[in-house]
């Protein structure tokens, strides 16, 4: 099942808000539809929203080209659209990373070209390359992650939210590792946290693993402590939305709690993320902007009210796990271990010299 596909000037997105009961797609021919899809989590997961935004920028450039205006004005409009697309979700750095990667390319190209059709071609090639690159990054992360479990079998892995194929352009980050362990016969089962309030674990992780016949047990978030206490969990593997140079990790709300629990129970806590999830400009997790979402996501589900009318609600979409609670970070360049400032510094060096 393809979650993101670019076909003849249309971005086709699997509508993840409808899963698992309905498999339906939306055809985006306007960048505003892409922005809406990102905002409403029709496409979600840090790498996937970066990929979708890349294609969204082709639509933004096409609309700018249709303006009956001089090239410079078309460009200003394109940059304005890019900014608006970038602002749809503030925590996942992959979104800003993808937009900036394309905008910087356009800025460089327009030093020598003032042909919008040519710029559209450049953007299309870059968006496709971001997508293709993500597939490869996932594969390399899966290999690196599996190396942490050499010689181990019957592994029971707990994961939170959805860091799978649905959240990326490829196999997934955390679930890419899980898939590799399944392939090598080392995986016994995945425990999937339901992930309140929007149930990405129940609706998406359980769905995609079940579809692939990978053994999965669903639990509500408040059962994780019980599962650990009962000795049911060998390791936690989660994805990330942004990682700082110190190794602080922003991920779906509830991840921090899991990390605290894992520490108490002496269970390794792993984070799987590609280089595009690292914010090399930010040191402290407390400086990561946390997306606050609408109250109705907590007070209702699928349109059914589950809390008193008008109740006050706290709804941060992400939390930050301090680096002290992270055992290792799995990247396409291998496994990073503490001291993270040093190992992430090395990753930054590799990325800047690619």
Looking at residue 297, the DSSP 8-state letter turns out to be H
Residues 6+ apart with CB under 8 A from 150: none
Nearest to 148 by CA among 271, 249, 231: 271
Residue 124 C-beta: closest distance to ligand MRU, Å: 24
The site for ligand MRU (CB under 6 A) is made up of 41, 44-47, 92, 161, 163, 167-168, 173, 200, 239-241, 251-252, 317
What kind and span of H or E run contains 245?
none
Cβ proximity of 33 and 60 under 8 Å: no
- The pair phi, psi for residue 69, each rounded to 5°, is -150, 160
Identified catalytic residue from 193, 241, 248, 279: 241
Residue 188 C-beta: closest distance to ligand MRU, Å: 22
Residue 168 C-beta: closest distance to ligand MRU, Å: 5
252 is in an annotated binding site: yes
Residue 311 C-beta: closest distance to ligand MRU, Å: 22
45 vs 90 by CB, closer to ligand MRU = 45
What is the per-residue burial (b if ≥16 Cβ within 10 Å, else e) of 8-38?
eeebebbbbeebeeeeeebebeebbbbbebb
Cβ proximity of 255 and 160 under 8 Å: yes
137 vs 148 by CB, closer to ligand MRU = 137
- The pair phi, psi for residue 25, each rounded to 5°, is -120, 150
Nearest to 200 by CA among 275, 251, 267, 140: 251
Nearest to 58 by CA among 99, 25, 90, 93: 99
Cβ burial of 156 (10 Å; 0-12, 13-18, 19+) is middle
Cα(274)–Cα(137) distance, rounded to whole angstroms? 6
Residue 135 C-beta: closest distance to ligand MRU, Å: 13
Tokens, residue 168:
């990326």
Tokens, residue 16:
């993840």
Whether 80 is catalytic is: no
Cα(323)–Cα(124) distance, rounded to whole angstroms? 37
Residue 97 C-beta: closest distance to ligand MRU, Å: 13
What are the Cα distances from residue 20, in Å, to 14, 172, 231, 283, 317? 11, 18, 30, 38, 21
78 vs 278 by CB, closer to ligand MRU = 278
Cα(335)–Cα(178) distance, rounded to whole angstroms? 15
293 is in an annotated binding site: no
Cis amide prior to 197 (ω within 30 degrees): yes
60 is in an annotated binding site: no
78 vs 191 by CB, closer to ligand MRU = 191
Q: Which residue number is nearest to ligand MRU in terms of Cβ?
A: 239
53 vs 75 by CB, closer to ligand MRU = 53
Residue 77 C-beta: closest distance to ligand MRU, Å: 28
148 vs 163 by CB, closer to ligand MRU = 163
200 is in an annotated binding site: yes
Tokens, residue 342:
């040093």
316 vs 345 by CB, closer to ligand MRU = 316
Residues annotated as binding site for substrate?
A: 44-46, 89, 200, 251-252
Which residues are the active-site residues? 241
């Amino acid at each position: 099942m393809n979650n993101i596909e670019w076909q003849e000037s249309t971005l086709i997105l699997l509508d993840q808000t409808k899963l698992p009961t309905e498999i339906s797609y939306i055809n985006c021919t306007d960048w505003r539809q892409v922005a809406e899809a990102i905002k409403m989590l029709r496409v979600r997961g840090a790498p996937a929203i970066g990929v979708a935004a890349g294609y969204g920028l082709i639509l933004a450039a096409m609309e700018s080209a249709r303006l009956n205006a001089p090239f410079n004005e078309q460009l200003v409009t394109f940059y304005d659209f890019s900014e608006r697309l970038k602002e749809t979700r503030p925590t996942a750095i992959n979104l800003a990373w993808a937009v900036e990667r394309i905008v910087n390319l356009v800025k460089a190209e327009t030093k020598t070209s003032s042909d919008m059709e040519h710029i559209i071609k450049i953007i299309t090639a870059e968006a496709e390359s971001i997508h293709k690159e993500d597939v490869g990054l996932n594969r390399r992360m899966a290999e690196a992650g599996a190396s942490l479990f050499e010689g181990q079998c019957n592994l029971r892995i707990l994961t939170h939210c959805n860091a799978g194929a649905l959240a990326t352009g490829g196999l997934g980050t955390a679930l890419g590792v899980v898939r590799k362990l399944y392939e090598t016969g080392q995986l016994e089962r995945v425990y999937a946290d339901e992930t309140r309030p929007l149930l990405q674990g129940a609706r998406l992780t359980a769905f995609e693993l079940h579809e692939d016949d990978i053994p999965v047990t669903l639990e509500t978030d408040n059962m994780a402590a019980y599962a650990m206490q009962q000795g049911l969990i060998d390791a936690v593997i989660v994805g990330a939305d942004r990682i700082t140079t110190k190794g602080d990790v922003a991920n779906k709300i509830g991840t921090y709690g899991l990390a605290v629990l894992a520490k108490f129970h002496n269970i390794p806590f792993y984070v799987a993320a590609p280089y595009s999830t690292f914010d090399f400009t930010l040191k402290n997790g407390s400086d990561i902007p946390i997306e606050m979402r609408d109250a109705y996501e907590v007070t209702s589900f699928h349109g059914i009210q589950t809390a008193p009318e008008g109740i006050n609600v706290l709804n941060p979409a992400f939390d930050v796990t301090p680096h002290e609670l992270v055992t290792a970070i799995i990247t396409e360049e291998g496994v990073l271990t503490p001291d993270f400032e040093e190992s992430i510094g090395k990753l930054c060096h590799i990325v800047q010299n690619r």
